[in-house]
């Protein structure tokens, strides 16, 4: 420990060493600044996309709820003899389609969050697993 401290003190006294260290620090600072400048627009885009997906998810959830209610109405009408079973099947198809859209939006939101928090999405996790 004492040897290392003595080396640092003796190196610090050389003007060439200080200039070299300052150049290294400036170079590192410029590299970091360039990386941040490249990534910042990406982060903004991801945040905007997540906000849009959140709104889309709310609208899709409303559509899914409406499709489920319509399905229940058509089931009740079929049981009461007012509608053919084809109406129930059509309502089931619409409800399933809306549920699939819900899941797709959720997946896209999760992908966006992974991109945002991990800085590269699920592929980063896959690479780490290799």
> What are the residue ranges spanned by the domains of the chain?
2-129
CA distances from 12 to 1, 3, 8, 91, 96 (A): 17, 14, 6, 79, 71
As given in the structure block, the two tokens for residue 15 are 């003007």
| The model's pTM | 0.61
Please report, in tens digits, the pLDDT of each residue of the chain (130 residues total). Answer: 555 555 555 555 566 677 788 888 888 888 877 777 777 777 788 888 889 999 999 999 999 999 999 999 999 999 999 999 999 999 999 999 999 999 999 999 988 887 767 665 555 445 555 4
Class of domain 2-129: mainly alpha
Stated as kind and residue range, the H or E segment containing 51 is helix 15-79
């Amino acid at each position: 420990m004492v040897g290392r401290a003595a080396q640092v003190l003796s190196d610090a006294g050389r003007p060439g060493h200080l200039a070299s260290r300052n150049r290294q620090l400036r170079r590192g600072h410029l590299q970091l600044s360039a990386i941040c400048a490249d990534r910042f627009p990406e982060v903004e885009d991801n945040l905007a996309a997540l906000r849009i997906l959140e709104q889309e998810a709310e609208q899709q959830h409303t559509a899914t709820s409406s499709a489920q209610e319509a399905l229940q109405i058509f089931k009740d009408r079929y049981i009461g003899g007012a509608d053919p079973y084809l109406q129930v099947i059509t309502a089931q198809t619409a409800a399933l389609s809306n549920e699939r859209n819900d899941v797709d939006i959720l997946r896209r939101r999760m992908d966006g969050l992974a991109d945002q928090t991990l800085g590269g999405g699920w592929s980063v996790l896959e690479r780490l697993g290799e």
